[in-house]
């Protein structure tokens, strides 16, 4: 029996005009380093709920690893089956067979435990407070910013943002540039692939496919002109993390499943491709293996296949990401 109380069909992806529009997240509280705050930073208090296929959840999982928060914030991985009751637990691809806290079988049950009257989509990432038994936040951009610094007092000094050589993942001197880039990248790239893939009309698809590739061209030019390892220099920033989770899925899923097939990252964007390879394959102090270790290609392909109501998971590509040239 369905337990969907959202008042809307979570599986209806496009509006009546054929365009996909992402609804705003509902839970927007913050974890704070202040012990007197409503949600203070504490070890073993919070749980990050994700599924491996979702790029928004992937952002939070990457930052959890980059910051060394694995022993501070519990991780729960759901399966890739999205139903009217939200993401389901199925035990596949390293996911949990059920919610380890409450025995739930679907993500909607967690949302309704936080708010029995909740109406909306049951999205990930979801940051849960075990003490208050409620959702702190379900907006990925805000969760990763919390993870950057809110738990720093619980970490070794070398992992704290104040001690990072370039000012951390969201450095003060680059915030205006980072925020500006994030705005257009979100609209046309991060969310742009969804606006193409979930279009329900030719007009909606055509209106979004061109801006997507114009923005990829713009990112390629940005890297070419700067000649830096990462988007804003020689250190990873918020912009790199947010873009990575889209581009690592691009050739694997968006080209075929979302019909974003005008160009491919590996063949048509040499600077973006090199940037992507360095993040994925890197295991140095900058990347810490966090990008590769949190990327799971089988759930990515299966998840998008099911999201578009197809029954055929694409076989390729032969290499989900091109091996790194030893000379790079």
Which one, of 136, 157, 113, 152, lies nearest residue 29 by Cα?
136
Q: In the chain, how many H helices and how many E strands? A: 11, 6
Strands 74-78 and 134-137: unpaired
Strand-pair partners of 82: 87
Quote the tokens at residue 282: 């890197």
Return the sign of the alpha-carbon dihedral for residues 67, 69, 73, 74.
Answer: positive
Annotated catalytic residue: which of 51, 54, 196, 260? 54
Q: Is 54 a catalytic residue?
A: yes
When computed from its CA atoms, the radius of gyration of the chain, rounded to whole angstroms, is 19
CB 159 within 8 A of CB 152: yes
DSSP string, 224-277: HHHT-SBTTBSS--HHHHHHHHHHHHIIIIITTTS---S--HHHH-HHHHHHHH
Which positions are catalytic? Answer: 54
């Amino acid at each position: 029996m369905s337990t969907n109380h959202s008042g809307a069909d979570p599986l209806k992806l496009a509006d009546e005009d054929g365009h996909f529009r992402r609804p705003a997240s509902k839970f927007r509280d913050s974890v704070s380093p202040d012990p007197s705050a409503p949600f203070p930073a504490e070890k073993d208090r919070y749980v990050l709920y994700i599924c491996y296929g979702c790029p928004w959840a992937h952002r939070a999982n990457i930052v959890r690893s980059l910051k060394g928060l694995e022993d501070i914030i519990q991780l729960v991985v759901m399966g890739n089956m999205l139903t009217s009751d939200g993401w389901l637990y199925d035990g596949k691809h390293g996911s949990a067979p059920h919610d380890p806290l409450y025995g739930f079988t679907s993500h909607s049950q967690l949302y309704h435990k936080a708010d029995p009257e909740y109406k909306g989509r049951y999205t990930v990432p979801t940051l849960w407070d075990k003490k208050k038994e409620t959702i702190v936040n379900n907006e990925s951009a805000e969760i990763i910013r919390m993870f950057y610094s809110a738990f720093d007092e619980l970490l070794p000094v070398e992992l704290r943002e104040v001690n990072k050589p370039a000012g951390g993942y969201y450095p003060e001197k680059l915030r205006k540039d980072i925020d500006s880039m994030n705005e257009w990248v979100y609209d046309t790239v991060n969310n742009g692939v969804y606006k193409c893939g979930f279009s329900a009309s030719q007009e909606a698809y055509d209106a979004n496919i061109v801006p997507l590739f114009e923005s990829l061209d713009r990112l390629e030019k940005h890297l070419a002109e700067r000649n830096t390892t990462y988007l804003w220099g020689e250190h990873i920033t918020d912009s790199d993390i947010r873009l990575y989770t889209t581009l690592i899925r691009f050739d694997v899923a968006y080209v075929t499943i979302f019909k974003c097939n005008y160009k491919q990252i590996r063949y048509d964007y040499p600077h973006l491709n090199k940037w992507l390879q360095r993040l994925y394959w890197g295991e140095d102090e900058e990347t810490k293996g966090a990008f590769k270790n949190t990327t799971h290609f089988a759930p990515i392909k299966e998840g998008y296949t099911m999201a578009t109501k197809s029954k055929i998971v694409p076989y390729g590509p032969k290499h989900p990401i091109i091996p790194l040239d030893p000379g790079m």
